[in-house]
């Protein structure tokens, strides 16, 4: 039996993160060969080991992708190892919190760099090989890229540079979809709501806490926080042939958060006002 991604080579940036790890395992289960990179060597290695332990094929290299040399090296490593690149999943990020007033210029530049320039650099380096393979590109954006102000309850004025960068990622993806469509390359984004990962556990992890309640309430579906696997399932779909007529799109995976405008399902009291 062959998988939906049999023998395809998929690059994952920031491969040590929880969303990346779930994605690597999910894609490898469908036959993909995973090439990961992370600035944290131990985290990158842990994902590679997890894929191999599950019977999949993976390799990784520790790199700083914010640097063009690192971005170029990532694609070179994958090509040396497997001879082709079918897809890149831009997942790596690093951010400094702050409001429009409180964010320092250095923090602003760091956050725009790590969330907008970095995925562009990694993608740019991989484009020739992805074009040759008529492959696809996925950017992990965020609901906060389109819906800042309602995207992160309890944190609404605190992620200005991050949200601005993610808005740029949405635009970058559409621009690249236009640029590469005639070559048969598809380019899409996923916009997650709050997903429970090491990065967010500090803020939202404590069940029963007011922040956790604020993080779950805006979703329309029976209220839970997102899981890395929710995002991994979306990536699998977008890089598979089942999405062969999908490009320039954004797949929101947020339990209905954005559709509710960040305020959650209608209550009986709300409905009573429209009768």
Ligand X SMILES: NC(=O)c1ccc[n+]([C@@H]2O[C@H](COP(=O)([O-])OP(=O)(O)OC[C@H]3O[C@@H](n4cnc5c(N)ncnc54)[C@H](O)[C@@H]3O)[C@@H](O)[C@H]2O)c1
Residues annotated as part of the active site:
162
β-pair type (250-253, 33-38): unpaired
Tell whether residue 114 is a contact of ligand X (CB under 6 A).
yes
Tell whether residue 39 is a contact of ligand X (CB under 6 A).
yes
The residue among 70 and 264 lying less far from ligand X, judged by its C-beta, is 70
Is residue 232 within 8 A of residue 26, CB to CB? The reply is: yes
Alpha helices by DSSP H, listed for 54-157, are: 68-82, 105-112, 118-133
The residue from 46, 50, 112, 199 that contacts ligand X (CB under 6 A) is 199
Is residue 31 within 8 A of residue 236, CB to CB? The reply is: no
Tell whether residue 19 is a contact of ligand X (CB under 6 A).
yes
Rounded-to-integer distance, Cα 245 and Cα 226, Å = 27
The residue among 209 and 244 lying less far from ligand X, judged by its C-beta, is 209
Contact flags string 76-105 toward ligand X, x per CB under 6 A: ---------------xxxx-----------
Rounded-to-integer distance, Cα 71 and Cα 93, Å = 14
Give first-to-last CA distance, the chain, whole Å: 55
Contact flags string 173-192 toward ligand X, x per CB under 6 A: -------------------x
The residue among 112 and 131 lying less far from ligand X, judged by its C-beta, is 112
Q: Among 10-18, 79-87, 123-131, 238-246, which window interacts with ligand X (CB under 6 A)?
A: 10-18
């Amino acid at each position: 039996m062959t998988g939906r991604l049999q023998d395809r080579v998929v690059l994952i940036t920031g491969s040590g993160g929880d969303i990346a790890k779930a994605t690597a395992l999910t894609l490898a289960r469908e036959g993909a060969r995973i090439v990961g990179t992370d600035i944290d060597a131990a985290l990158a290695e842990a994902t590679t080991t997890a894929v191999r332990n599950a019977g999949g094929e993976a390799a990784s290299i520790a790199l700083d992708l914010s640097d063009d040399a690192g971005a170029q090296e990532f694609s070179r490593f994958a090509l040396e190892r497997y001879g082709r690149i079918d897809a890149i999943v831009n997942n790596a990020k690093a951010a400094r919190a702050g409001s429009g007033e409180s964010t320092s210029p250095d923090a602003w530049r760091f956050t725009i760099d790590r969330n907008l320039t970095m995925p562009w650099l990694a993608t740019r380096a991989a484009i020739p090989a992805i074009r040759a393979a008529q492959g696809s590109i996925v950017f992990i954006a965020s609901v906060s890229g389109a819906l800042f102000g309602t995207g992160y309850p309890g944190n609404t004025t605190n992620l200005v540079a991050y949200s601005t960068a993610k808005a740029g990622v949405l635009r970058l993806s559409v621009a690249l979809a236009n640029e590469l469509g005639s070559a048969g390359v598809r380019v899409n984004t996923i916009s997650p709501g709050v997903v429970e990962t090491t990065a967010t556990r500090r803020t939202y992890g404590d069940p029963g806490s007011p922040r956790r309640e604020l993080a779950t309430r805006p979703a329309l579906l029976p209220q839970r926080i997102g899981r890395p696997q929710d995002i991994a399932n979306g990536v699998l779909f977008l890089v598979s042939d089942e999405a062969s007529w999908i490009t320039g799109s954004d797949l929101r995976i947020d339990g209905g958060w954005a559709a509710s405008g960040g305020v959650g399902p209608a209550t009986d009291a709300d409905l009573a006002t429209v009768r």
